[in-house]
Structure 1
Amino acid sequence: MRPWGDENAWSSAVPTDDGNLLLARAGILLVVPEADGTVAAVHELAVAPGENVRLVAGGTPGTAALAFRTTSTGRTTVWRLSGRAETPERVADVPGEFTGGVWLDGGLLAVASSDGARTVVLNLSDGTVRPLPGLSPGEHLLLAAPQAGTLITAQKREGVLRLGSRRRDHDALTVFPGRLNAVEGTVVPLALDPSGRHLALSVTRGVRSTALLYDLVEDSTREIEPAGVLLPVAHWNAAGLHLVRSAPDLPPQPVTVPDPLTATALTGHGRTGWSPARSRSFTGPGGPVEAIVYGDLAHAGHVVLALHGGPEAAWRLTFDPLFQRLAADGIAVVAPNQRGSTGYGAAHRDAIRGAWGGADLADVIHLGRTLAAERVSGSCPPMLYGASYGAYLALLAAAAEPGLWSRAAVVAPFLSGRALYEDGPESVRRMLDRLGGQEEIVDDHLGSRDLLRLADRLRLPLLLVHGDQDPIIPVSHSRRLRERLARTGHRDTALTYLEVPGAGHDPLTDHEGHAVLEQLVAFLRVGPRP
């Protein structure tokens, strides 16, 4: 059984009505918390293992959640979870890959294909599927209030994804409220109240999120301060609005708002024993760069600049097991949302379209210099950490200014956008096409952003980690980089290469993830071992 807190990008969580928490990783966990947020018990439920197990909150009596997993044959298997420590019930095996789920009436669940091309209705009583009538082409179902017959949908209109509301009647028209679609930030619909009048949303601005309630009748909004980040799962019933909240010092925790129409803030987040973090705005070469900070940047024994994957992603003020582990070892952490990150407007996000390793690399170098200047005299220079795109960016930063960093630990890097396009899966090629990842930057200082060409500039101690079953970035990229570094002949290059058997894109949480995590933390704390 894996210990609590071993979460990653593939995890999903659903609160149960009795205050417990169902977690999906490579299987399902039932977490029973104490009143103060600590864990009383963790039960591993018997579901076939594999990545991308996803949960949908239950909408019928006796069903706390449904678990979805796509098999290697391209079918989606569905299990029913009661919310108790008992074996889940397998209820359907559906051809195709489906994600999400919206409960309708009569035990019917509307699910969308992974490519968004179609929405079908799954009948849990017999495992059959049929089309969902009444939606316009390109309109996707997001939420429903079954008894009221209210549906929340999304559709691209004039190139912008807009939220709409409609009745379930076949001839009903969808309305796209102006006030709802004018909300600033990244908006994620969470739940409809049973009457179908009020819509709960998560709105993320920068590293924080808030809960927003929208009145479909009065066309009005009000906010509930969450004191952390809301996970994109929720349930609204007669007992109130059930949310899952997290913060840097708070693992995902269910919270119930009994009367959300009058509440102004979520309560119950006390001391948990985990390290706190704060946000800080750094001055960057192209404008402010917000970052999440753990520890004392000036006096800590070490400070690491941690770069997120993506590139269309961002760090949020949520629980991160790696950062907690680093903080516990006295390593200060700065996790920036440099240009290219989401949550700061289109200009910030699009600054690296067609220019990977351009504006974002300039931000990282500037932050590294800032951290070096803030360190007390004689202390260790900043370190670098990155995963996926963050690993690529960290290695570019190490090559651009080798003397600025003391060492770097990277997980699943790729060699260049062009090389990844040649070797990566179709989903990655689509992202590269959309973001201009194949376009090259060439300048007088660094030249093209190809790590094989830049290998002779990587003169710092380096830990290179890659899962040998990575489905996103082929392990061959790390193997080729290791071979190229071995041929550079630099005596001051100390390369530690760790290829993790059986691990996927996130070897820190796959299989023997705790052992990998310990090696990474030890490398950042003391450097390479003989």
Structure 2
Amino acid sequence: MNAPTTSAVIDGALGPSHPPQVWRINFRFSGSGRYAVCLTARDRDGLAPELWDLTGTRPRSRVLRLRDGVSPWSAAVPTGDGNILVNSVEAGGTRRVLLAVPAATGSATSVRELLTVHDGDLALVAGRNSGTAALALLRTPGRGTTVWRLPGSPERPEQVADVPSFLSGGVWLDESGDLLALARSQGGATRTVVLDSSRGTVSPLPGLRQGEHLLLAAPCGGVLLTALESGGVHRLGIRRRDDDGPTVFPEDLNAVEGTVRPLALDPAGRRLALSVTRGVRSVVLLYDLEEGGLREIGPATGSLLPAACWNEDGLHVVHSAPDRPPRVVAVSDSREAHLVADGERTPWAPAVVRRFDGPAGPLEAVVYGDPVRAAGVVLALHGGPEAAWQLTYDPLFQRLAAEGVAVVAPNQRGSTGYGAAHRDAIRGAWGGPDLADVLHVGRTLAAERAPGGSRPILYGPSYGAYLALLAAAAEPDLWSRAAVVAPFLSGRELYADGPAMVRNLLDRLGGREEITGDALGPRDLLRLADRLRLPLLVIHGERDPIIPVGHSRRLRDRMARAPHQGARLTYLEVPGAGHDPLTGPDRHLVLERLVTFLHAAPPSASSYG
């Protein structure tokens, strides 16, 4: 018996002609709200800053190519005059802050280095006045946070403060752009403090009770939006910065159904824009802070990203749909408020929403193509587990659709956006109710397939990878093949060597508890490896900081010792990649390997190797 195939070096070429694949990540707005920037890439191109000019009737963007490019871990912040500060992350952890000045025409850009650090984590907060393009927060373990003022010109950065604790976030409180609210983490507790950047002092934000944190502010109106956590529930509160009275927690604001994310306050502090996700869709709600009452903005099919800005020119949000990559759009301020998006046709495939009658109730899914008649159908499982598929652009799903492969992306139990009972069904039961839902949808798709059609294909990243492999082990004959990205072996194994944030998630959701009493037994992939008898592609980033690559290596080695005559396992370890290789420097090659595997005709059974 031969060992599974291992690919350490990625090679390959783009497939046949297909619509361009676009990546847009890390949207940020300038302090004035006149500009926005994101990191973008198209097909094989490397990531580059994309600058959005919001001063006209419609947002306009252009891509600015930097000589050395940027990495997926980099971030960019626009200045008030349309320049860009790039927080560039390089090999070895070195971080450089670069000032990129676009030419008046074209995409040419001049670049100057402003700040270089070799130790610690660096974050940028867009400034609000002409003397401060941004503040740089350098967080060093065992030391605290050093704050630098970046002037947005060739002048040297100025050190503003040196604080013996970790500072994060950043909400401007005043019109002059001197007072910045930050979250201070110290001794296991987090509280909101105010940095006076003109004096270099840090003091608590008065009036907040224990467990209450600042989310947004309207500097002109002096209005603050806070969140108070109590018993695992967050309530939104409103207060004035110059008022000593208690925070008010409006009942109608806190009775909104769905997953609520505050986006922005208008400059006067009269209205609040909220992103509300219900199932696979999200909408903008406008709340009147003085009179109460909510108004939904629409129509718009798709989803909202957690970035927005509201200034005297109006509200801008980041919107995406299955056939539209993320982009900045304006929100009209008329009585019939709506998203102002271009109406031109796109080359990308649309998607529809379908409901399945699950074993414990309806299951919603995003569907591309025709799962009955398509050449193949992929059952895609999301990561998380506290996550959900939404009506948003996905480069992998678009590539599959272009190849004639249908995609069904369900939000099984454990997904967010469908109420507490649906979300909490897997607490203490990872691979229990959610696995039952996945198997049910898989059987439904298999029964619906046209005569002679191939069996469904499994795909999933992270938690979805773990769930996909459990489904493949539970009913090996239901599936034709499976491709997974960054799987973990079990909750207990991940707890043993995962980072602190993952261990906290496992503790909170009962991810270490074992399921017993059914035919599958404990959900441990090493124990279940002998049941994985289908063609399998495992992809893992070499430098995954969330799920150690050792989990996939151990699974690869265990499957090499499987006693049965199964199908071929291909193991692809992506050099230098993190948790999501589909957004890394080699993303287009990883994408093509995935698409080639998922689109391939089912092979005849053969042994490993």
- Scaled by the length of structure 1, what TM-score is found? 0.89
Aligned to 2:224: 151
- In 1, the alpha carbon distance for the partners of 2:241 and 2:500 equals 36
Q: 1:54 to 1:412 in 2, by over 3 A?
A: farther
Q: 1:232 to 1:94 in 2, by over 3 A?
A: farther
SS of equivalent residue, structure 1 residue 109:
strand
1:253-308 per-position Cα deviation (integer Å, ceiling 9, x unaligned): 11122415541454435322222111111111111111111111112111111111
SS of equivalent residue, structure 2 residue 22:
coil
Q: How does 1:202-351 map to 2 (within 5 A)?
A: 202-225=275-298, 226-259=300-333, 262-351=336-425
- Larger RCO: 1 or 2 (CA < 8 Å, sep 6+): 2
- Does the 8 A contact of 1:91 with 1:124 survive in 2? no
> Which segment drifts farther, 12-21 or 375-384?
12-21
Matched, 1:409 2:487: no
1:148 CA displacement: 1.2
Of residues 123, 128, 131, the one that matches 2:204 is: 131
1:466 CA displacement: 0.9
1:65 CA displacement: 7.2
Aligned to 1:5: 22
Aligned to 2:182: 111
> Which segment drifts farther, 45-54 or 469-478?
45-54
- Does the 8 A contact of 2:355 with 2:365 survive in 1? yes
Q: 1:386 to 1:88 in 2, by over 3 A?
A: farther
Matched, 1:523 2:543: no
- In 2, the alpha carbon distance for the partners of 1:12 and 1:79 equals 22
Aligned to 1:21: 37
1:328 CA displacement: 2.0
1:92-119 per-position Cα deviation (integer Å, ceiling 9, x unaligned): 6866554432111131221224777122
SS of equivalent residue, structure 1 residue 48:
strand
1:75 CA displacement: 6.0
- Does the 8 A contact of 1:307 with 1:394 survive in 2? yes
- In 1, the alpha carbon distance for the partners of 2:262 and 2:86 equals 31
1:463-508 per-position Cα deviation (integer Å, ceiling 9, x unaligned): 1111121111111111111111000033222100011121111112
- In 2, the alpha carbon distance for the partners of 1:227 and 1:372 equals 29
1:182 CA displacement: 0.6
**Percent of pairs with identical residues:** 62
- Does the 8 A contact of 1:240 with 1:260 survive in 2? no
Paired letter, 1:141: L
Q: How does 1:451-490 map to 2 (within 5 A)?
A: 451-490=525-564
Of residues 443, 449, 453, the one that matches 1:369 is: 443
1:158-194 per-position Cα deviation (integer Å, ceiling 9, x unaligned): 5521000001026231000001001111111111111
Matched, 1:49 2:71: no
1:135 CA displacement: 1.7
- In 2, the alpha carbon distance for the partners of 1:488 and 1:424 equals 26
- In 1, the alpha carbon distance for the partners of 2:168 and 2:335 equals 30
Quote the RMSD (CA, aligned, Å): 3.3
- Does the 8 A contact of 2:222 with 2:241 survive in 1? yes
- In 2, the alpha carbon distance for the partners of 1:261 and 1:36 equals 19
- Does the 8 A contact of 1:14 with 1:244 survive in 2? no
1:310-334 per-position Cα deviation (integer Å, ceiling 9, x unaligned): 1111111111122122222222111
Aligned to 2:240: 167
**Of the two, which has the highest radius of gyration?**
2
1:221 CA displacement: 1.0
| Structure 2 gaps, min length 5 | 1-19, 67-84, 94-120, 604-608
- Does the 8 A contact of 1:46 with 1:88 survive in 2? no
- In 2, the alpha carbon distance for the partners of 1:528 and 1:57 equals 52
Paired letter, 1:102: V
1:229-258 per-position Cα deviation (integer Å, ceiling 9, x unaligned): 111111111111111111111111111224
- In 2, the alpha carbon distance for the partners of 1:449 and 1:373 equals 27
- In 2, the alpha carbon distance for the partners of 1:265 and 1:196 equals 21
- In 2, the alpha carbon distance for the partners of 1:77 and 1:30 equals 29
Matched, 1:514 2:588: yes
Paired letter, 1:507: P
Q: 1:246 to 1:81 in 2, by over 3 A?
A: farther
Paired letter, 2:562: T
- Does the 8 A contact of 2:27 with 2:36 survive in 1? no
Aligned to 1:185: 258
1:345-366 per-position Cα deviation (integer Å, ceiling 9, x unaligned): 0100011000000000000001
Q: 1:497 to 1:73 in 2, by over 3 A?
A: farther
> Which segment drifts farther, 390-399 or 274-283?
274-283
1:80 CA displacement: 8.2
| Structure 1 gaps, min length 5 | none
Q: 1:223 to 1:126 in 2, by over 3 A?
A: same
- Does the 8 A contact of 1:410 with 1:463 survive in 2? yes
- In 1, the alpha carbon distance for the partners of 2:470 and 2:389 equals 20
- In 2, the alpha carbon distance for the partners of 1:88 and 1:278 equals 52
Aligned to 1:386: 460
Matched, 1:418 2:492: yes
1:62 CA displacement: 8.2
SS of equivalent residue, structure 1 residue 47:
strand
Of residues 515, 524, 543, the one that matches 1:450 is: 524
Q: 1:404 to 1:371 in 2, by over 3 A?
A: same
Q: 1:195 to 1:37 in 2, by over 3 A?
A: closer
- In 2, the alpha carbon distance for the partners of 1:338 and 1:122 equals 44
SS of equivalent residue, structure 1 residue 231:
strand
Q: 1:134 to 1:261 in 2, by over 3 A?
A: farther
> Which segment drifts farther, 398-407 or 34-43?
34-43
- In 2, the alpha carbon distance for the partners of 1:56 and 1:5 equals 26
Paired letter, 1:136: R
> Which segment drifts farther, 407-416 or 222-231?
222-231
Q: 1:149 to 1:514 in 2, by over 3 A?
A: same
Q: 1:175 to 1:38 in 2, by over 3 A?
A: closer
Q: 1:12 to 1:70 in 2, by over 3 A?
A: farther
- Scaled by the length of structure 2, what TM-score is found? 0.78
- Does the 8 A contact of 2:582 with 2:591 survive in 1? yes
- In 2, the alpha carbon distance for the partners of 1:513 and 1:70 equals 30
- Does the 8 A contact of 1:461 with 1:527 survive in 2? no
1:22 CA displacement: 3.0
- Does the 8 A contact of 2:192 with 2:205 survive in 1? yes
Paired letter, 1:47: N
Q: 1:19 to 1:158 in 2, by over 3 A?
A: closer
- In 2, the alpha carbon distance for the partners of 1:199 and 1:317 equals 24
Q: 1:19 to 1:328 in 2, by over 3 A?
A: farther
- Does the 8 A contact of 1:80 with 1:89 survive in 2? no
Paired letter, 1:41: V
Paired letter, 1:150: V
1:48 CA displacement: 2.2
- Does the 8 A contact of 1:407 with 1:527 survive in 2? no
- Does the 8 A contact of 1:31 with 1:43 survive in 2? no
